[in-house]
Amino acid sequence: MRWVSAAFLAMSILLILATGCAALSPVSRPAAGRGTLFLWMPGASGVQVLGDWNEWGGLESSGGRLDPEAGRMTGNGEGLWTVQVGDDLEAGRYRYAFLVDGWRWTADPGNPETAVYAGMTVSLLVLGD
């Protein structure tokens, strides 16, 4: 078991040396506006942000069906997903979560503010005046 850890460490060092420090550099975030949300999710084929402002993508509206276009985020091809949600929202507190590839719910890892929705821990967007 010890040789597996040593082999992994050696391979990691070789990968870093081969690719340079760029492999460890974070992707730069674009300029953010009021209510701009970001998610770093390399490998995702699609990400939506669902929350109080869009009736959780239709899940809270009559019929309770998820709209695959609701809260659709834009990917930059390198794993950074963004969406602007705050321009038409009044000041207040809004719960939200990301839906990755249509099935995996995740709270915003960049936002320490949390709340609960349908028994899940989700994120809380606080918009001031």
User: 32-84, pLDDT tens digit by residue?
Assistant: 455 789 999 999 999 999 999 999 999 998 888 999 999 999 999 999 999 99
Q: 11 in a domain, yes or no?
A: no
Answer whether residue 12 is part of any domain.
Answer: no
Q: What is the CATH number of the domain that holds 74?
A: 2.60.40.10
Is residue 113 a part of any domain in this protein?
yes
pTM, rounded to two decimals: 0.73
Domain that holds residue 107: 29-127
What values do phi and psi take at 16, rounded to 5? -65, -40
| Residue 112 belongs to a domain | yes
Residue 24 lies in a domain: no
Q: Is residue 120, in this structure, part of any structural domain at all?
A: yes
In a domain, 101, yes or no: yes
What gap in Å lies between CA 113 and CA 111, rounded to an integer?
A: 6
Angle in degrees, CA 85, 86, 92, rounded to 5: 120
The string of DSSP letters for 36-88 reads EEEEE-TT-S-EEEEEGGGGGGGTTSTT----TTTTBPEE-SSSEEEEE--TT
In contact, 51 and 97? CB cutoff 8 Å: yes
- Residue at 81 is within a domain: yes
Q: In the structure, what pLDDT confidence band is assigned to residue 29 with cuts at 50, 70 and 90? A: very low
Overall domain count for the chain = 1
CA–CA dist 45, 100 (Å, integer): 8
